[in-house]
Amino acid sequence: MIKRTQVLVLALTFCFVATAAWADFKLERKLALEPGGSFILETDIGSVLLTGEPSSGARVLITSDEDLDRDFEFAFSEEGRGVKVTIKRRGMRRLFSGWFDNHDTRIAIQVPSTTAVRLSTSGGSVDASHVTGTVNVHTSGGSVRVEAVEGNVEGTTSGGGVRMRDVRGNVLASTSGGSITIADIRGSLRASTSGGGIQIDAVSGDLHTSTSGGSVDVRGAGGRVEASSSGGGVTVRFAPGNSSGGEVSSSGGSVRTELDPGAKVSIDASASGGGVNSDLPITIQGKIDRNSLRGEMNGGGPVLRLRSSGGGVRIARISRTAER
Protein backbone atom coordinates (compact mmCIF):
# COMPACT_ATOMS: atom_id res chain seq x y z
CA MET A 1 0.00 0.00 0.00
CA ILE A 2 2.84 2.35 0.90
CA LYS A 3 4.58 1.60 -2.40
CA ARG A 4 1.35 2.30 -4.35
CA THR A 5 0.98 5.65 -2.54
CA GLN A 6 4.57 6.57 -3.34
CA VAL A 7 4.08 5.67 -6.99
CA LEU A 8 0.88 7.76 -7.14
CA VAL A 9 2.62 10.78 -5.57
CA LEU A 10 5.50 10.47 -8.00
CA ALA A 11 3.10 10.22 -10.93
CA LEU A 12 1.15 13.29 -9.84
CA THR A 13 4.39 15.20 -9.29
CA PHE A 14 5.59 14.27 -12.78
CA CYS A 15 2.29 15.37 -14.32
CA PHE A 16 2.47 18.72 -12.52
CA VAL A 17 6.05 19.37 -13.60
CA ALA A 18 5.31 18.29 -17.16
CA THR A 19 2.22 20.49 -17.36
CA ALA A 20 4.16 23.48 -16.04
CA ALA A 21 6.96 22.89 -18.53
CA TRP A 22 4.54 22.62 -21.44
CA ALA A 23 2.47 25.68 -20.46
CA ASP A 24 2.59 28.48 -23.04
CA PHE A 25 1.51 31.81 -21.55
CA LYS A 26 0.75 34.77 -23.79
CA LEU A 27 -0.82 38.09 -22.85
CA GLU A 28 -1.09 41.09 -25.18
CA ARG A 29 -2.41 44.57 -24.52
CA LYS A 30 -2.75 47.61 -26.77
CA LEU A 31 -2.87 50.88 -24.84
CA ALA A 32 -3.58 54.49 -25.77
CA LEU A 33 -0.35 56.52 -25.71
CA GLU A 34 0.36 59.62 -27.76
CA PRO A 35 3.87 60.88 -28.66
CA GLY A 36 5.32 62.96 -25.85
CA GLY A 37 3.78 60.85 -23.11
CA SER A 38 5.36 58.46 -20.58
CA PHE A 39 5.57 54.69 -20.17
CA ILE A 40 6.28 52.95 -16.84
CA LEU A 41 6.86 49.24 -16.25
CA GLU A 42 7.30 47.68 -12.81
CA THR A 43 7.64 43.90 -12.89
CA ASP A 44 8.77 41.14 -10.53
CA ILE A 45 9.69 38.84 -13.40
CA GLY A 46 10.99 38.75 -16.94
CA SER A 47 13.45 40.22 -19.39
CA VAL A 48 12.32 43.47 -21.01
CA LEU A 49 12.75 44.66 -24.60
CA LEU A 50 11.44 48.15 -25.44
CA THR A 51 11.67 49.90 -28.80
CA GLY A 52 10.34 53.20 -30.06
CA GLU A 53 8.25 53.27 -33.23
CA PRO A 54 7.05 56.24 -35.36
CA SER A 55 3.39 55.69 -34.46
CA SER A 56 0.84 56.27 -31.68
CA GLY A 57 -0.16 53.75 -29.06
CA ALA A 58 1.71 51.28 -26.87
CA ARG A 59 1.78 47.52 -27.34
CA VAL A 60 2.80 45.10 -24.59
CA LEU A 61 3.35 41.41 -25.28
CA ILE A 62 4.16 39.06 -22.37
CA THR A 63 5.20 35.47 -23.09
CA SER A 64 6.41 32.72 -20.78
CA ASP A 65 6.91 28.98 -20.57
CA GLU A 66 4.99 29.08 -17.25
CA ASP A 67 1.36 29.78 -16.41
CA LEU A 68 1.85 33.26 -14.97
CA ASP A 69 -1.86 33.73 -14.16
CA ARG A 70 -1.43 31.35 -11.25
CA ASP A 71 1.30 33.32 -9.48
CA PHE A 72 1.17 36.93 -10.77
CA GLU A 73 -1.21 39.85 -10.92
CA PHE A 74 -1.29 42.12 -13.98
CA ALA A 75 -2.42 45.75 -14.10
CA PHE A 76 -2.59 48.06 -17.12
CA SER A 77 -3.54 51.71 -16.62
CA GLU A 78 -3.94 54.68 -18.95
CA GLU A 79 -3.88 57.96 -17.08
CA GLY A 80 -3.52 61.39 -18.66
CA ARG A 81 -0.59 61.25 -21.06
CA GLY A 82 0.96 58.16 -19.51
CA VAL A 83 0.72 54.37 -19.35
CA LYS A 84 1.70 52.18 -16.41
CA VAL A 85 2.07 48.40 -16.41
CA THR A 86 2.68 46.39 -13.24
CA ILE A 87 3.33 42.67 -12.82
CA LYS A 88 3.45 41.56 -9.18
CA ARG A 89 3.65 38.20 -7.43
CA ARG A 90 0.64 37.05 -5.52
CA GLY A 91 0.61 36.77 -1.73
CA MET A 92 3.24 34.64 -0.02
CA ARG A 93 5.06 33.83 -3.25
CA ARG A 94 6.66 37.28 -3.00
CA LEU A 95 8.61 35.98 0.02
CA PHE A 96 10.00 33.01 -1.94
CA SER A 97 10.50 34.70 -5.29
CA GLY A 98 13.90 33.15 -5.91
CA TRP A 99 12.34 29.65 -5.92
CA PHE A 100 9.97 30.44 -8.79
CA ASP A 101 12.07 32.47 -11.23
CA ASN A 102 13.69 29.73 -13.27
CA HIS A 103 11.29 30.03 -16.20
CA ASP A 104 11.73 32.10 -19.33
CA THR A 105 9.51 35.19 -19.35
CA ARG A 106 9.83 37.98 -21.90
CA ILE A 107 8.12 41.36 -22.04
CA ALA A 108 8.21 43.06 -25.45
CA ILE A 109 7.08 46.68 -25.58
CA GLN A 110 6.54 49.14 -28.42
CA VAL A 111 5.95 52.82 -27.69
CA PRO A 112 5.88 56.03 -29.75
CA SER A 113 9.41 57.20 -30.53
CA THR A 114 8.93 60.34 -28.43
CA THR A 115 8.25 58.83 -25.00
CA ALA A 116 9.74 59.16 -21.51
CA VAL A 117 10.49 55.63 -20.31
CA ARG A 118 10.96 54.04 -16.88
CA LEU A 119 11.53 50.28 -16.68
CA SER A 120 12.19 48.19 -13.57
CA THR A 121 12.44 44.39 -13.36
CA SER A 122 13.58 41.95 -10.71
CA GLY A 123 13.94 39.03 -13.03
CA GLY A 124 16.05 39.60 -16.14
CA SER A 125 17.79 41.88 -18.59
CA VAL A 126 16.54 45.24 -19.88
CA ASP A 127 16.98 46.49 -23.44
CA ALA A 128 15.72 49.93 -24.58
CA SER A 129 16.32 51.64 -27.93
CA HIS A 130 15.18 54.24 -30.47
CA VAL A 131 13.50 56.59 -28.02
CA THR A 132 13.46 60.39 -27.78
CA GLY A 133 12.97 61.25 -24.12
CA THR A 134 14.44 60.39 -20.74
CA VAL A 135 15.18 56.70 -20.20
CA ASN A 136 15.49 55.18 -16.72
CA VAL A 137 16.08 51.42 -16.51
CA HIS A 138 16.87 49.14 -13.57
CA THR A 139 17.21 45.39 -13.07
CA SER A 140 18.16 43.27 -10.09
CA GLY A 141 18.84 40.17 -12.12
CA GLY A 142 20.42 40.83 -15.52
CA SER A 143 22.20 43.08 -17.94
CA VAL A 144 21.30 46.57 -19.21
CA ARG A 145 21.51 47.67 -22.84
CA VAL A 146 20.53 51.11 -24.15
CA GLU A 147 21.01 52.33 -27.72
CA ALA A 148 19.90 55.18 -29.99
CA VAL A 149 18.35 57.48 -27.37
CA GLU A 150 17.92 61.24 -27.55
CA GLY A 151 17.62 62.23 -23.92
CA ASN A 152 19.21 61.67 -20.53
CA VAL A 153 19.75 58.01 -19.57
CA GLU A 154 20.10 56.25 -16.23
CA GLY A 155 20.83 52.52 -16.24
CA THR A 156 21.58 50.40 -13.17
CA THR A 157 21.87 46.68 -12.44
CA SER A 158 22.85 44.52 -9.51
CA GLY A 159 23.50 41.42 -11.55
CA GLY A 160 25.09 42.00 -14.95
CA GLY A 161 26.92 44.18 -17.40
CA VAL A 162 25.96 47.54 -18.89
CA ARG A 163 26.20 48.43 -22.58
CA MET A 164 25.20 51.81 -24.01
CA ARG A 165 25.70 53.37 -27.42
CA ASP A 166 24.55 56.42 -29.36
CA VAL A 167 23.02 58.56 -26.61
CA ARG A 168 22.33 62.27 -27.08
CA GLY A 169 22.18 63.31 -23.44
CA ASN A 170 23.80 62.85 -20.05
CA VAL A 171 24.34 59.26 -18.90
CA LEU A 172 24.57 57.52 -15.53
CA ALA A 173 25.54 53.81 -15.63
CA SER A 174 26.30 51.52 -12.70
CA THR A 175 26.55 47.82 -11.91
CA SER A 176 27.55 45.75 -8.92
CA GLY A 177 28.27 42.63 -10.90
CA GLY A 178 29.69 43.17 -14.37
CA SER A 179 31.56 45.18 -16.94
CA ILE A 180 30.62 48.49 -18.58
CA THR A 181 30.95 49.26 -22.29
CA ILE A 182 29.86 52.69 -23.52
CA ALA A 183 30.33 54.50 -26.85
CA ASP A 184 29.25 57.70 -28.58
CA ILE A 185 27.78 59.84 -25.81
CA ARG A 186 26.90 63.46 -26.59
CA GLY A 187 26.83 64.67 -23.00
CA SER A 188 28.41 63.93 -19.64
CA LEU A 189 28.97 60.41 -18.28
CA ARG A 190 29.18 58.83 -14.83
CA ALA A 191 29.98 55.10 -14.92
CA SER A 192 30.91 52.80 -12.04
CA THR A 193 31.21 49.07 -11.35
CA SER A 194 32.33 46.91 -8.46
CA GLY A 195 32.89 43.80 -10.50
CA GLY A 196 34.48 44.32 -13.91
CA GLY A 197 36.35 46.40 -16.42
CA ILE A 198 35.25 49.61 -18.12
CA GLN A 199 35.57 50.54 -21.80
CA ILE A 200 34.48 53.98 -22.98
CA ASP A 201 34.75 55.46 -26.46
CA ALA A 202 33.82 59.01 -27.48
CA VAL A 203 32.21 61.11 -24.74
CA SER A 204 31.80 64.79 -25.54
CA GLY A 205 31.22 66.05 -21.97
CA ASP A 206 32.83 65.56 -18.58
CA LEU A 207 33.50 61.95 -17.58
CA HIS A 208 33.65 60.29 -14.17
CA THR A 209 34.33 56.55 -14.06
CA SER A 210 35.56 54.05 -11.47
CA THR A 211 35.92 50.31 -10.92
CA SER A 212 36.97 48.12 -8.02
CA GLY A 213 37.47 45.00 -10.08
CA GLY A 214 39.16 45.64 -13.42
CA SER A 215 40.89 48.00 -15.80
CA VAL A 216 39.66 51.27 -17.32
CA ASP A 217 40.14 52.17 -20.99
CA VAL A 218 38.85 55.57 -22.18
CA ARG A 219 39.15 56.85 -25.75
CA GLY A 220 38.06 60.17 -27.18
CA ALA A 221 37.42 62.02 -23.90
CA GLY A 222 36.06 65.43 -24.81
CA GLY A 223 35.84 67.02 -21.35
CA ARG A 224 37.30 66.78 -17.88
CA VAL A 225 38.11 63.20 -16.85
CA GLU A 226 38.09 61.52 -13.46
CA ALA A 227 39.02 57.84 -13.90
CA SER A 228 40.13 55.38 -11.23
CA SER A 229 40.63 51.67 -10.64
CA SER A 230 41.47 49.56 -7.60
CA GLY A 231 41.97 46.42 -9.62
CA GLY A 232 43.81 47.24 -12.83
CA GLY A 233 45.49 49.78 -15.07
CA VAL A 234 43.89 52.98 -16.34
CA THR A 235 44.33 54.44 -19.84
CA VAL A 236 42.78 57.75 -20.90
CA ARG A 237 43.03 59.14 -24.42
CA PHE A 238 41.89 62.76 -24.57
CA ALA A 239 40.20 64.07 -27.70
CA PRO A 240 42.13 66.53 -29.91
CA GLY A 241 42.03 70.04 -28.45
CA ASN A 242 40.94 68.90 -24.99
CA SER A 243 42.66 70.92 -22.25
CA SER A 244 40.13 70.24 -19.48
CA GLY A 245 42.45 68.25 -17.22
CA GLY A 246 41.21 65.87 -14.55
CA GLU A 247 42.43 63.09 -12.28
CA VAL A 248 43.52 59.60 -13.38
CA SER A 249 44.57 57.05 -10.75
CA SER A 250 45.14 53.35 -10.18
CA SER A 251 45.88 51.26 -7.10
CA GLY A 252 46.28 48.06 -9.08
CA GLY A 253 48.23 48.93 -12.21
CA SER A 254 49.85 51.56 -14.36
CA VAL A 255 48.42 54.86 -15.60
CA ARG A 256 48.69 56.07 -19.20
CA THR A 257 47.34 59.27 -20.70
CA GLU A 258 47.46 60.44 -24.31
CA LEU A 259 47.22 64.18 -24.95
CA ASP A 260 47.04 66.59 -27.84
CA PRO A 261 50.56 68.14 -28.10
CA GLY A 262 48.85 71.55 -28.17
CA ALA A 263 46.90 70.98 -24.94
CA LYS A 264 47.32 73.65 -22.26
CA VAL A 265 47.40 71.79 -18.98
CA SER A 266 49.42 71.66 -15.76
CA ILE A 267 50.80 68.21 -15.00
CA ASP A 268 51.01 66.72 -11.49
CA ALA A 269 52.14 63.09 -11.78
CA SER A 270 53.56 60.61 -9.29
CA ALA A 271 54.01 56.84 -9.03
CA SER A 272 54.95 54.76 -6.01
CA GLY A 273 55.15 51.55 -8.04
CA GLY A 274 57.24 52.75 -10.98
CA GLY A 275 58.62 55.73 -12.83
CA VAL A 276 56.98 58.74 -14.49
CA ASN A 277 57.76 59.29 -18.17
CA SER A 278 56.57 61.79 -20.78
CA ASP A 279 56.85 61.74 -24.57
CA LEU A 280 55.62 65.34 -24.70
CA PRO A 281 57.55 68.51 -23.86
CA ILE A 282 56.76 69.71 -20.34
CA THR A 283 58.26 72.72 -18.61
CA ILE A 284 59.40 71.21 -15.31
CA GLN A 285 58.64 72.94 -12.04
CA GLY A 286 60.65 72.07 -8.95
CA LYS A 287 63.20 69.28 -8.65
CA ILE A 288 63.51 66.43 -11.12
CA ASP A 289 62.44 63.08 -9.63
CA ARG A 290 62.14 59.70 -11.37
CA ASN A 291 58.91 58.94 -9.52
CA SER A 292 57.19 62.30 -9.96
CA LEU A 293 56.76 65.12 -12.45
CA ARG A 294 55.26 68.56 -12.06
CA GLY A 295 55.19 71.10 -14.84
CA GLU A 296 53.26 72.82 -17.60
CA MET A 297 52.37 72.08 -21.19
CA ASN A 298 52.09 75.11 -23.46
CA GLY A 299 52.02 77.55 -20.56
CA GLY A 300 49.77 75.45 -18.31
CA GLY A 301 46.06 75.41 -17.59
CA PRO A 302 43.65 73.10 -15.73
CA VAL A 303 45.47 70.51 -13.62
CA LEU A 304 45.84 66.95 -14.88
CA ARG A 305 46.67 64.85 -11.81
CA LEU A 306 48.09 61.36 -12.42
CA ARG A 307 48.62 58.79 -9.64
CA SER A 308 49.67 55.15 -9.59
CA SER A 309 50.34 52.85 -6.65
CA GLY A 310 50.68 49.70 -8.72
CA GLY A 311 52.87 50.70 -11.65
CA GLY A 312 54.33 53.57 -13.62
CA VAL A 313 52.82 56.70 -15.19
CA ARG A 314 53.26 57.55 -18.86
CA ILE A 315 52.23 60.70 -20.72
CA ALA A 316 52.05 60.17 -24.49
CA ARG A 317 50.94 61.95 -27.64
CA ILE A 318 47.52 61.03 -29.04
CA SER A 319 47.71 58.83 -32.11
CA ARG A 320 47.52 60.36 -35.57
CA THR A 321 44.26 58.47 -36.15
CA ALA A 322 42.69 60.23 -33.17
CA GLU A 323 44.03 63.61 -34.32
CA ARG A 324 42.29 63.20 -37.68
pLDDT, tens only, 7-43: 333 333 333 333 334 448 999 999 999 999 999 999 9
The β-bridge partners of 49 are 108, 127
Q: Is position 9 within any domain? A: no
- pLDDT score, position 257: 98
- pLDDT score, position 103: 65
Q: Are residues 318 and 189 in the same domain?
A: yes
Lowest mean pLDDT among 93-97, 101-105, 194-198: 93-97
- pLDDT score, position 8: 33
Q: Is position 272 within any domain? A: yes
The β-bridge partners of 139 are 121, 157
The residues near 270 (Cβ < 8 Å, ≥ 6 apart) are 276, 291, 292, 293, 306, 307, 308, 313
pLDDT, tens only, 205-259: 999 999 998 999 999 999 999 999 998 999 999 999 999 999 999 998 999 999 9
Q: Is position 3 within any domain? A: no
Number of domains in the chain: 2
For CA atoms 86, 174, 110, 64, give the dihedral sign. negative
Q: Are residues 210 and 322 in the same domain?
A: yes
| pLDDT at residue 6 tops 50 | no
Q: Are residues 203 and 272 in the same domain?
A: yes
Helix (H, G, I), strand (E, B) or coil at 143: coil
**Residue 75: C-alpha distances to residues 29, 35, 39, 67, 245 (Å):** 10, 22, 13, 17, 50
Last residue of a domain, one of 76, 107, 132: 132
Q: Is position 169 within any domain? A: no
Q: Are residues 46 and 114 in the same domain?
A: yes
- pLDDT score, position 5: 35
The residues near 202 (Cβ < 8 Å, ≥ 6 apart) are 183, 184, 185, 219, 220, 222, 239
Last residue of a domain, one of 74, 107, 132: 132
pLDDT, tens only, 102-136: 468 999 999 999 999 999 999 799 999 999 999 99
In this prediction, residue 306 has a pLDDT band, given cuts at 50, 70 and 90, of: very high
| 305-323 average pLDDT score | 86
Q: Are residues 33 and 127 in the same domain?
A: yes
pLDDT, tens only, 70-95: 899 999 999 889 999 999 998 755 44
Q: Is position 163 within any domain? A: no
Residue 233's domain comprises 179-324
Question: Is 322 within 8 Å of 239 (Cβ atoms)?
Answer: yes
> How far is it, in rounded angstroms, from Cα 207 to Cα 189?
5
- pLDDT score, position 4: 37
| 279-289 average pLDDT score | 89
**Residue 5: C-alpha distances to residues 16, 17, 19, 162 (Å):** 17, 18, 21, 51
Q: Are residues 231 and 296 in the same domain?
A: yes
Q: Tell me which of 190 and 273 has the higher pLDDT.
A: 190
pLDDT, tens only, 142-189: 999 999 999 999 999 998 999 999 999 999 999 998 999 999 999 999
Last residue of a domain, one of 101, 132, 163: 132
